[in-house]
Structure 1
Amino acid sequence: MFNAFEKIFTVKESETAEAVGSGGLPVLSTPHMIAYMENTAMTLMSSELNENDTSVGMEIHVQHLAPTALNKTVSVQAKQVDKSGKVFTYEIEAYVDEELIGKATHKRAIVDKEKFMAKIKP
């Protein structure tokens, strides 16, 4: 049986579409909704890691279905649906007051921190 996890976020002014430039309205931006989703999956996945590892997002397919006002509480639920070697797949849903505002399929991979960072060219 795969794991599931829920995390709660509150929409800040700095996370609105207007503030980040992804739109012109003071509502939760799509980039921040995606960040909430990735953070929830990352937290769920953390129990699978040893001290030398971390996880990185490698793919996300997302639908942003409804607007969310400033200061609203967003509940993000991630459920692991597959594991293939070091790649984990999650189904994620975001809700505000029981209304589905977004959903995604997200893949994360386990990587060795030092080896991963060594790939960065100065």
Structure 2
Amino acid sequence: MDETAENQYIVKESDTAEAMGSGGLPVLSTPHMVAYMENTAWKMLESTLDDTQTSVGIEMNLTHSAPTAVGKRVDVKVTLLESTKNIYTFHIEAHVEGKRIGKAEHKRAVIQTEKFMKSI
């Protein structure tokens, strides 16, 4: 697996705090920034798994430090810090026009899809 992965997202009206209900302003919501970060880590890890596996997020320690307007591009970079058994730890940063708007440490667990779905 590559040690890093990157993805870009364009902030839509539906991604705002106002639309999400997590705030009253038309700026990128924290839940959507988390989704951008988690999606990038998931895609990075997913490409290494077989058809019976997937990964699920189990922990996120996050700072959302600057607002982002609708229409702006958010660049997300994920770096694998470590893997222990089936747990992968990532450092993630989100930038807009070169300015960091958020950072996180995120953990994902690799699971057997069928067994996981039978447990719910």
Matched residue of 1:55: which SS? Answer: strand
2-structure distance, mates of 1:2, 1:69:
31
State the one-letter code of the partner of 1:109.
A
Give the aligned residue type for 1:71.
G
TM-score (norm. length: structure 1): 0.96
Structure 2 gap ranges (5+) = none
Aligned to 2:24: 24
| Cα 1:89–1:56 shift into 2, 3 Å | same
In structure 2, the partner of 1:103 is: 103
Q: Which amino acid aligns with 1:108?
A: R
In 1, the alpha carbon distance for the partners of 2:111 and 2:77 equals 24
Report the Cα distance in structure 2 between the residues aligned to 1:19 and 1:85, rounded to whole angstroms: 39
Instruction: Provide the residue aligned with 1:90 in structure 2.
Output: 90
* AA aligned opposite 2:87: V
Write out the 4+ residue segments of structure 1 that deviate beyond 6 Å after TM superposition: none
| Other-structure match for 2:37 | 37
Deviation at 1:35, TM superposition (A): 0.2
Aligned residue for 2:117?
117
Q: CA deviation at 1:2?
A: 5.9
Distance, in Å, in 2 between the alignment partners of 1:114 and 1:10 is 33
TM-score by length of 2: 0.98
Give the count of matched residue pairs. 120
